[in-house]
Amino acid sequence: MNSLVLIMVAIGVFAMGYRFYAKFLTLGVFRIDNAAPTPASHRHDSHDFVRCNRWLLLSQHTAAVAGSTTLIGAGVAVIWGWVPAFLWIVVGTVVVAGTYAIGTLWASLRYSGASPKALAQELVGRAATIPFLGLAGIFLIVVCAVLTLLIGEVLVATPSVAWLFLSVMPITIFLRQSLSADSAGQVLFNLGLILVILVAAFLVGQYLPLAITGAWRIPGWNRDLLILGPELIWSVLVLTTCYFSIKDPVWRTARPRGVLAGIVLLIVILLMVVGISVYQPDIAAPRINERVDLPNPVVLIPLVLTGGAFAGYHALIHAGPTVRQIEHQQDAPLLGYGGVVGDGLLAITAVLVLTAGFADTDSWHRSYISWPQHEPIVRWLSEFIDRGARFISILGIPRQGANALIAFMVVTLTLSALETALRSFAFLLTEGREQLMSQPSGDNTLQHRVLLVAVAMVAFGISQTRLDLDYWYLISITGQWLAPAMFVLIVIALLRLGRSTMMVLIPPMVLSPVLVWGTLWVMWQWWTDGLWLLLITASVVLLLGLWGLTLTTMTAFQIHRQQASAMPLRPPGL
């Protein structure tokens, strides 16, 4: 199969989905009211509730949902062959993720920018906030720790991008000034400075890469007590940067960094697509990998492949930083559906990069010898960076420069996702504090510090082991269990308005049994391997997930019965 055909098919399906299915969801299912005010208007506070131009917000939002998690998921999923991964991404993006994204934005907009936890309290009751808050808390603290370490590991593995990463900080200042400038001259001047900084950082990185090597070990009786690797140095810098970001108003730091990451993402995808169009390599991976030592793809693809998925992480972003910046109700379809399409495009690009351009199928098989249970997950980021650089270098860009450009995209996307996840976590802490104290929270400095310290401690603990596929399972399981319960919350909101719920009910009905099956499979692997901490955490996640899904489903059935009993009886003979 020619890779160019696949990417053209994917782009065509995504375009048709946005043109027709997103319009059907907007007008026929959710009936978004364009005249209604948005939370950014009636709750404007110049900090989190701040109106934003829809195209800038789309860039920021896409950068938050499309990143290293998408690349890792695609890298793992292609081991089953390119057909399962391709179909899940395309169909999942157009139908499942698109419905989930627009539905979450619609529900949060309708309830004044409520988070998933606040929506659960409003639509189901206070008891439902416990599973939602528990799942969101576990997920966010683990994913933030993992993303922090991944940035450090990418910078260690690709030292030529370190100067580009450091240049993000001054670029943020000039880009913020450009976004708020009153004159075209000032915008051009700031953009010129940004270009100069990027080119300088790029060139310095090519000739004087900033490499941090070696590890500081504290010996123990039979093994090292502590290992302080070079990735931890970068992780400390990353968390320090994020601390000041979540303290600042969203327009001051998070927005310009998200816009920068979105622009870099667009440039890299365009370069890769053009490179694939010129090279037109055949797919070397088999359509279906029939090796008997692989787990069932039906069980694990919804867990490992987040691109095109109904991921709980997306709900936390949609009903979090994104919904609080929407300027007009009519922007919701563009942001919701457009964001998941951007995520799907990145996932499709990753699948093609990791399956095409090999000498033959045997060469591809040597890259996927066995199920990568205990391999570091940064491997797929490095593989994507290295193989993606091959396609871009076809256009005449030096291979080392293309490598640095893709690595810069990965780092900026991961940083944007980390900052957004931390801001979502801060929202949850603020809501919990306000609920306990029954009054608006004041200074949030202490809870921000506690949050960063907690993430740092978890990241340090993970760094003492290997950041392998087991942690990816934990992230996926926790995030995915938020999704079906969130779907049912959307169903409840529709039921209260007397609207049809079939299009929203189908995805959780089909995927929830698969999610249970996959979770139990992973827990069994951890039981046999003696990974007790992961097993205990997954058990708590499973109980919270079933609890939340049960409460929301019972509420939906109760509302449905009440409405059915209140309907007038049909006269005889009709």
What crossing angle do the helices spanning 116-123 and 129-157 adopt, rounded to 10°?
170
**CA distance readout (Å), 157 to 68, 102, 210, 450, 540:** 15, 38, 11, 30, 35
> Residue 95 pLDDT > 60, yes or no?
yes
Per-residue pLDDT at 223: 66
Question: Which domain does 519 fall in, by range?
Answer: 3-564
What is the rounded average pLDDT for all residues in the chain? Answer: 87
Position 413 pLDDT exceeds 90: yes
In a domain, 572, yes or no: no
* Two tokens, residue 5: 């055909």
Q: What is the CATH number of the domain that holds 414?
A: 1.10.4160
Domain assignment of residue 273, yes or no: yes
Question: Could you report the per-residue pLDDT of 149-169, keeping only the tens digit for each?
Answer: 999 999 998 998 999 999 998
Confirm whether 417 is domain-assigned.
Answer: yes
Task: For residues 282 and 358, give the distance between their C-alpha atoms in angstroms, rounded to a whole number.
Answer: 8
Instruction: Give the chain's domain count.
Output: 1
Please state the φ and ψ torsions of residue 376, each to the nearest 5 degrees: -65, 135
324 near 41, Cβ under 8 Å? no
Identify whether 363 is part of a domain. Answer: yes
Whether residue 534 has pLDDT greater than 90: yes
Query: Is residue 69 a contact partner of residue 381, using CB atoms and an 8 Å limit?
Result: no
In a domain, 573, yes or no: no
569 in a domain, yes or no?
A: no
Q: In this prediction, what percent of the chain has a pLDDT beyond 70?
A: 93
Task: Output the six-digit token pair for 133.
Answer: 């808050």
Q: Which residues touch 352 (CB under 8 Å, ≥6 apart)?
A: 3, 6, 7, 276, 283
Please name the residues in contact with 401: beta carbons below 8 A apart, sequence gap of 6 or more.
202, 206
Instruction: Report how far residue 447's alpha carbon sits from residue 431's, in angstroms, rounded to the nearest whole number.
Output: 12
Spatial distance between the Cα atoms of 552 and 504, rounded to a whole number of angstroms: 14
Instruction: Quote the DSSP letter at residue 465.
Output: S
Please tell me the predicted confidence (pLDDT) of residue 350.
Answer: 92
**pLDDT category of residue 568 using cuts at 50, 70 and 90:** low
At residue 565, the pLDDT reads 78
Q: How many CB atoms lie within 10 A of CB 221?
A: 5
User: Looking at per-residue confidence, does 34 or 405 come out higher?
Assistant: 405
Amino acid 439: pLDDT: 55
Tens-digit pLDDT profile for residues 210-233: 888 776 766 666 666 667 788 888
Residue 570 has pLDDT above 50, yes or no: yes
pLDDT grade for 298, boundaries at 50, 70 and 90: confident
Mean pLDDT across 493-498? 90
- Does residue 570 sit within a domain? no
The answer to whether residue 169 is domain-embedded is yes
pLDDT at position 574: 43
pLDDT of 567 higher than 70: no
pTM: predicted TM-score of the whole model, two decimal places: 0.92
